[in-house]
Chain A
């Protein structure tokens, strides 16, 4: 199999070829995998991580991989997003086993997966009826329209923050209460300000943070205001965003709970002032940005009337080997600022497979013209807990579009004589799907809450995208391995018609 397209939307291009030898038992259990890879890496790369991710994905430990890299000047930098690519390789291995044995690919996936419960089990229960899964052996189903029918499925783990083994960034969060230190900021307005110093990436995480804080604190959603920090804002947060959002949500929760405790203590003092009986903090609670006495809900103090000024609350924690977040010692209260540092770790020795995702694809292949038409593309993932569904939908839609793009269209074409890139001058020649090519996709999620991020969540990140999904379905349809993009010249060549 070969990869020759833009794997990273913002970095560069990676070329690779890997030849695989696969050993397996008669009942579909992998016994050995050997990979020989060659990859063009531009001016630096991570290498093809077949071994690492194969070990992570399957029970098979007898795996050998040799990767030979070569450097080139065809791009500035190349980064192989090793997880997905090598998961693509492993799913190709599983498809090969399925085809060879005539065994339903979902059975092969189940038999070989390192972790089946709860995530994989829940995903299969959801996705089978949603897709109307009905597997058939390779090259065996010809439709009335004369086309060959193919389906396939793959499973990918989500080794992201919140599920151990992926990128870790210690989450941190900071909130200003009743006060905003920027010029023009209101004093005593009863609102919670969260200064951010990173972009939102268009995925709405800031709103997600505000939702978490409002719910945990008991504040009105509109009273929680994420703001981009100006250069002199003390203690701005650089929270883990994007796919590592779940850790930030965890930090937001912890920070909100710290703030809540401080508010209740303050309200306790205020309500007890010159009163014969002290009202203790545990006798209070918060709703709609007002502190109230549980035994007498009519007794209330609005946030803006609390005797709290210049309060800053922060949280910063390290994840440990058990997925627990240990708060930093420099938790700040009452206007004390402290620096927040970051830790990046890459836990290659850890098991990331707490949450996974399933993708299923149905294609029709016109063997007379080589045209591949995707009829159905389903992605069901397990984000652990979906904190902000609209953000999830946004990510899922984009990743399925990306899957269609890389499987069907995206390609760099160079003139071999001169090395000049020929087809990337515009969106006409560098092909990505239009809406008409993306109208068959569906997605959904399950919530097993088994990941290590806040609320048992994790990020779905880019792991809802696959470089090989459609190619596997084409293999099921015509019994031929075709390199992506699945253009008619390659399909016809594979069929011996060109």
Chain B
């Protein structure tokens, strides 16, 4: 690792004032330290601004008709919170599937939703592949190894959003609160990462309390039961009324650079009674626009199946 200055911020405003083009925020550090040790960032930070020293930013509470989670709340605490497990089960399930137990004990919700892409080219040590995400001319995965890359919504970069909690939060229609603004989670992500400014810090995640009768799921398909990032994941929040679906949010993870709202699947089931054939139709609709790369068309089959099973759950 190269030398860097380490600042313990006492307040959010103190943290923000220390930020700039050559500074990074560190909280749990489970992703950032990895990138520093392997020297994968295009610009190695001169300063790390530690926000773990900001008090009272690790809360998990229901207030004003919503769940509020401080940016420093640890993933393990979210996974085991009775409040989250109660009305926000998809989020609890997603948090429980993040990485491994020791990483969940260190990592924070703010870090989890802001983590960097897991692309092999992007993450190759010593900045070996100067890819589009780093300011380079191309995405090496397009002609190279792309088994874990995007089948939907890829453009200049085909790395997928690696966050498990972001998928559940999108299904639950969360809002990301920063020191500057509130961002609907649907607007938080873009192909090359997120929409945060250089002087912007996530301070809170807000999740509206779901309507009663809503059924939530989160399913993560990965090679191993622990540690691995998703090959495909799906989070769903489906409300039924009178035996028919009145509202649905179905979100696919690890298939696109951002959490992917499967609008086609949602539309396919709205106003209808759930059945095996309807779920199958919705599964196919979820991936209708998929454009697989050379080695990842298997993700289409998995995504279809996971959506079908989420609807039937």
Contact = CB atoms under 8 A, between A and B. Distances in A.
A420 B144 CA distance: 11
Interface in A471-495: 487-489, 492-493
B144 A369 contact: no
B221 interface: yes
A437 B145 contact: no
B295 A368 contact: no
Contact of B305 (A369, A408, A489): A369
A290 B225 CA distance: 56
Contacts of A369: 221, 301-302, 305-306
In this complex, the member of A431, A489, A492 whose beta carbon has the largest number of chain B beta carbons within 10 angstroms is A489
Main SS at interface, chain B:
loop
B124 A368 contact: no
Contacts of B124: 420, 422, 425
Interface string A382-426: 000000000000000000000000001100010111001011011
A335 B221 CA distance: 67
Contact of B144 (A416, A423, A436): A416
A217 B180 CA distance: 81
Contacts of A431: 223-224, 228
B194 interface: no
B227 A434 contact: yes
Given A370-B302, A413-B120, A415-B145, A420 B128 contact: yes
B143 interface: yes
A498 B125 contact: no
Nearest to B226: A434
A498 B305 CA distance: 13
Contact of B224 (A368, A370, A437): A437
A161 to B, nearest CB: 36
Interface in A260-300: none
A329 interface: no
Nearest to B300: A498
Nearest to A493: B298
A370 B38 contact: no
B123 interface: yes
A420 to B, nearest CB: 6
A19 interface: no
Interface in B95-143: 100, 120-121, 123-125, 128-129, 140, 143
A489 B120 contact: no
A416 to B, nearest CB: 7
A428 B99 CA distance: 10
Nearest to A492: B298
Interface string B217-234: 000010111111001000
B147 A489 contact: yes
Contacts of B125: 425
Contacts of B38: 425
A497 interface: yes
A182 interface: no
A207 B193 CA distance: 56
Q: Determine the interface band of chain B, counting residues with CB < 8 A from chain A.
A: 20 to 34
A427 B34 CA distance: 12
B298 A489 contact: yes
A188 interface: no
B297 interface: yes
Contact of A371 (B123, B147, B221, B226): B221
A489 B296 CA distance: 8
Contact of A409 (B223, B300, B301): B223
A216 B248 CA distance: 75
Nearest to B125: A425
A358 to B, nearest CB: 27
Interface in B259-299: 295-298
Contacts of B224: 409, 431, 433-434, 436-437
Nearest to B143: A417
Nearest to A417: B144
Nearest to B301: A497
A413 B145 contact: yes
Contact of A370 (B143, B227, B295, B298): B298
Nearest to A373: B225
A117 interface: no
Nearest to B99: A428
A492 B301 contact: yes
A429 interface: yes
Contacts of B123: 425, 429
A170 to B, nearest CB: 44
Contacts of A422: 120-121, 124, 145
18 contacts: A370-B302, A371-B221, A413-B145, A415-B120, A415-B121, A415-B144, A415-B145, A422-B124, A425-B38, A425-B123, A428-B227, A429-B120, A431-B223, A434-B224, A434-B225, A436-B226, A489-B295, A489-B298
Given A369-B221, A488-B302, 20 more contacts: A368-B305, A369-B305, A370-B301, A408-B223, A409-B224, A413-B120, A415-B140, A416-B144, A417-B140, A422-B124, A425-B38, A425-B123, A431-B224, A431-B228, A433-B224, A436-B225, A488-B231, A489-B147, A489-B296, A492-B301
- Top 10 A-B pairs, shortest CB-CB distance: A498-B298, A436-B225, A422-B120, A489-B298, A368-B305, A492-B298, A434-B226, A497-B301, A369-B302, A415-B144
Interface of B: 34, 38, 100, 120-121, 123-125, 128-129, 140, 143-145, 147, 221, 223-228, 231, 295-298, 300-302, 305-306
Interface of A: 368-371, 408-409, 413, 415-417, 420, 422-423, 425-429, 431, 433-434, 436-437, 487-489, 492-493, 497-498
